[in-house]
Amino acid sequence: MEFSVKSGSPEKQRSACIVVGVFEPRRLSPIAEQLDKISDGYISALLRRGELEGKPGQTLLLHHVPNVLSERILLIGCGKERELDERQYKQVIQKTINTLNDTGSMEAVCFLTELHVKGRNNYWKVRQAVETAKETLYSFDQLKTNKSEPRRPLRKMVFNVPTRRELTSGERAIQHGLAIAAGIKAAKDLGNMPPNICNAAYLASQARQLADSYSKNVITRVIGEQQMKELGMHSYLAVGQGSQNESLMSVIEYKGNASEDARPIVLVGKGLTFDSGGISIKPSEGMDEMKYDMCGAAAVYGVMRMVAELQLPINVIGVLAGCENMPGGRAYRPGDVLTTMSGQTVEVLNTDAEGRLVLCDVLTYVERFEPEAVIDVATLTGACVIALGHHITGLMANHNPLAHELIAASEQSGDRAWRLPLGDEYQEQLESNFADMANIGGRPGGAITAGCFLS
């Protein structure tokens, strides 16, 4: 799909479709008012007849409006004008894209970027429109032999900005939006890949391809089981030893700041490409979805792709901790005691609490980079979903300023996070009779004790 920006009057657009907003109750946006005046009140007459109230998600497609060059006008309900915030703006864009795609509008000029969104400028509105459009049209159909596509899909979207002075920032917003959207798509594609294709070796191949594509700034190193053994990463290795697929840790280094004082930000992603639970095997219902246990690594890969595409002036290291947790004759067992890379010992009480066993060794490994910050992303425990549901991510941190920045970023992006405590009192639940600690601490505060284990 192609995106561009322009600045022009709505009545002069020779597009297949013009998109404008309508507020509740039946209030035309400024651009819609211009079109109404040009058409001698055609649009307002329709609203008076009750064709559209302006509620969020409502649409009305008009054909051959008098005195308007565009073939069609799409009216989109935007809710109450004073309540149009980031979340509602994205929903309006999403509805717009779906409607255009379903009604055969192969190209459109969108004036929704001229709506007032509290606290947001035109750069943000254009960038969010691009990101939302790409996300709305996303589908994973690479493995289908018969792909279902709209007969006349949306192929070109032009965003209108109020003045020509804002064209440059609008073009930059499109560039940034496409880079971010590409990173999100890459993460989703990895997550959706079936586990017989996407194993640790596949993650490693994607990491290497990233270095090939951005060779100026990106270097990838893949660490296999033999090198892990030499490093003392016995906890990580234990998780994957029941699988025939080799465990591989992919280290992607992006260098955008050549200063010797520029310490890197390290991102660590849990990459369990399939988690059966191991000997402590999971119930069969829903086990197919355990291919998603590598979405932490997928997210880190997507971020690294985006950082490289935007050529950000920072140094970032992304680690994809790939392996597979399977039962088998060589699988690790409940009751085993493992020695981690840090030298601490862990008693395995449940082999399905495997993510922390992988990540603890990776977190020790990345200390060699002397990072400015380490951010670990993982589908670490179902207890977090029990606590917060499916809409908010749990966040635990031992550095308050970084935690506050991440919470603020989550609010800005719409991908919200909520901070959970990391108190010493929770550590007592991890006490073991046979090792320095156990790998689980019981049901109470299960997400928190998982974080405490890694802290």
- DSSP run (H or E) holding 22: strand 17-23
- Report the distance separating Cα 315 and Cα 264, nearest Å: 5
Task: Please name the residues in contact with 331: beta carbons below 8 A apart, sequence gap of 6 or more.
Answer: 241, 242, 278, 279, 351
- Report the distance separating Cα 93 and Cα 137, nearest Å: 12
Q: What is the dihedral of CA 211, 214, 215, 216, to 10 degrees?
A: -140
CB 134 within 8 Å of CB 178: yes
- Report the distance separating Cα 440 and Cα 218, nearest Å: 37
Residue 94: helix, strand or coil by DSSP? helix
Edge to edge, the sheet with strand 315-325 lists 218-223, 248-255, 315-325, 265-275, 373-377
Residue 362: helix, strand or coil by DSSP? helix
| Burial tier of 386 (Cβ tally within 10 Å: 0-12, 13-18, 19+) | exposed
Task: Please name the residues in contact with 156: beta carbons below 8 A apart, sequence gap of 6 or more.
Answer: 1, 2, 3, 4, 106, 107, 108
CA 145 to chain centre: 27
Phi, psi angle pair for 321, to nearest 5°: -90, 85
User: What region does 363 belong to: left with phi over 0, alpha with psi -120 to 50, or beta?
Assistant: alpha
- Report the distance separating Cα 316 and Cα 335, nearest Å: 38
Distances (CA, A) of 55 to 58, 87, 95, 97, 277: 6, 15, 12, 17, 47
> At how many degrees (to 10) do helices 295-310 and 200-213 cross?
0
Write the DSSP symbol of residue 395: E
For residue 181, which amino acid is it?
A
- Report the distance separating Cα 156 and Cα 139, nearest Å: 18
Query: Where in the sequence numbering do the catalytic residues fall?
Result: 282, 356
